Amino acid sequence: MLAAPLAFAASASAQLPATTTPAAPTAEAEKPRAKVKAKPPAARKKSAAPAAEAKPAASAPPATATPTAEDPNVDLVYGAYQRGQYKTAFDLASARAQAGDPKAMTMLGELYANELGVKRDEASAVYWYKRAADAGDREAMFALAMMRIAGRGGPLDRQEAVKLLASAAKLGEPKAAYNLALLYLDGQTLPQDFKRAAELLRMAADAGNAEAQYALASFYREGTGVEKDLEKAVQLLQAAALADNVDAEVEYAIALYNGTGTPKNQTAAVALLRKAATQGSPIAQNRLARVLISGQGAPMDKIEGLKWHLIAKTAGRGDPSLDEVSAEMSAEDRAKAEDAARHWLGKPLTW
């Protein structure tokens, strides 16, 4: 049977290291209380349409700044960028950057930083990001901050990064507000301040940042930096889940399954668990296995349930209680489940 915790799991697409106050574990909630981790921006591979922010999938790269078409003068540049025509975007942006267009400067920084249409040159990326940031472009401020934190294109400089993130956040850049919140949570670069972190997360969450919505949900669940409010926590989880944040999908599903902070809806919960399980979440795979093996919330299907248990176990998410169920099944049914798990994984079962 599923447990009801809205535990705060680590989001793989965050950007800077930070921690939150852990909640007391529950008997069935084996989900470990993890740090809210973040990584400095890594160079992104070429693609037909680079995303403005990394998707919250298990293997997704961290977010980097993506120039937007807020200014009509860069529509052609941005259009070429979105279509994957990076050399064209570079040529168009170069001319406009020389004419003083900050959005074009940000575009050049993006192209140089990520080897899109031009050889990677982090020093040139920093140069153009800085010029754009000095001209007031919030995307450039965010990108430059992340490069300073990573020590890319120059020496590591966290203090400058903080100033840039604060400026970008003040101008309404949600990724900057989110990352600045993580620094307030971390308590190393900045004094730990949960209330200020919550304010910044709310700013980013209101702008639609799924990672911030997920993080702020934990704050409301635990009463960290804000007044405890389970309903608000679940609303934020729902918003993040709709944006395909896998961790939020799992926790929102658990809330729906148990009716915690929201009306109980086990059918919707199981559907979300299936989605997160197929996206590679070992926690969702484990919870789905329990549902299918117990027949509580979905028709009983022990073979399918054992399949998901084995998949989760391969990812390090063992479950002794489900091992016991497996031992009681017939050899034929266990073989079917193992074959299904191997087929889904595309590799031998290991744990």
Q: What is the pLDDT of residues 258-296, one digit of tens each?
A: 999 999 999 999 999 999 999 999 999 999 999 999 999
Taking Cα atoms as reference points, which of 203, 206, 232 lies closest to residue 219? 232
In percent, how much of the chain has pLDDT > 90?
Answer: 78
Mean pLDDT taken over the chain: 84
Q: What is the DSSP string of 212-268?
A: HHHHHHHHHHHTSSS---HHHHHHHHHHHHHTT-HHHHHHHHHHHHHTSSS---HHH
Arithmetic mean of pLDDT, 246-251: 98
For residue 83, count other CB atoms closer than 10 A to its CB: 12
- How far is it, in rounded angstroms, from Cα 146 to Cα 275? 32
pLDDT of residue 5: 31
pLDDT of residue 322: 97
Q: Is the pLDDT of residue 301 over 70?
A: yes
* Residue 206 DSSP label: H
In the chain, what's the furthest Cα-to-Cα distance?
A: 74
In percent, how much of the chain has pLDDT > 70?
Answer: 79
Q: Is the pLDDT of residue 200 over 90?
A: yes
Are the C-beta atoms of residues 172 and 207 closer than 8 Å to each other? yes
Are the C-beta atoms of residues 290 and 308 closer than 8 Å to each other? no
Are the C-beta atoms of residues 254 and 7 closer than 8 Å to each other? no
Are the C-beta atoms of residues 171 and 141 closer than 8 Å to each other? yes
Q: Is the pLDDT of residue 16 over 50?
A: no
In tens, the pLDDT along 33-82 reads 333 443 333 333 333 322 233 332 232 233 455 555 455 544 899 999 99
Arithmetic mean of pLDDT, 331-340: 97
Are the C-beta atoms of residues 194 and 222 closer than 8 Å to each other? no
Q: Is 271 left (phi over 0), alpha (psi -120 to 50) or beta?
A: alpha
Structure tokens at 212: 């911030």
pLDDT of residue 126: 98
CA angle 11, 14, 18 (to 5 degrees): 90
- Model confidence at 134, pLDDT cuts 50, 70, 90, reads very high
Arithmetic mean of pLDDT, 304-313: 98
Residues 6+ apart with CB under 8 A from 346: none
CA angle 112, 116, 121 (to 5 degrees): 25
Tell which wins on pLDDT, 31 or 297. 297
Q: Is 344 left (phi over 0), alpha (psi -120 to 50) or beta?
A: alpha
Q: Is the pLDDT of residue 178 over 90?
A: yes
Arithmetic mean of pLDDT, 100-129: 97
* Number of residues in the chain: 351
pLDDT of residue 351: 79
Arithmetic mean of pLDDT, 204-212: 98
Taking Cα atoms as reference points, which of 64, 58, 62 lies closest to residue 10? 58
Structure tokens at 348: 């031998």
Q: Which residue do the tokens 């109980």 mark? A: 264
pLDDT of residue 67: 56
pLDDT of residue 297: 93
* Residue 100 DSSP label: T
Arithmetic mean of pLDDT, 164-190: 97
43-47, 238-242, 310-314: segment of lowest average pLDDT? 43-47
Structure tokens at 69: 């078409």
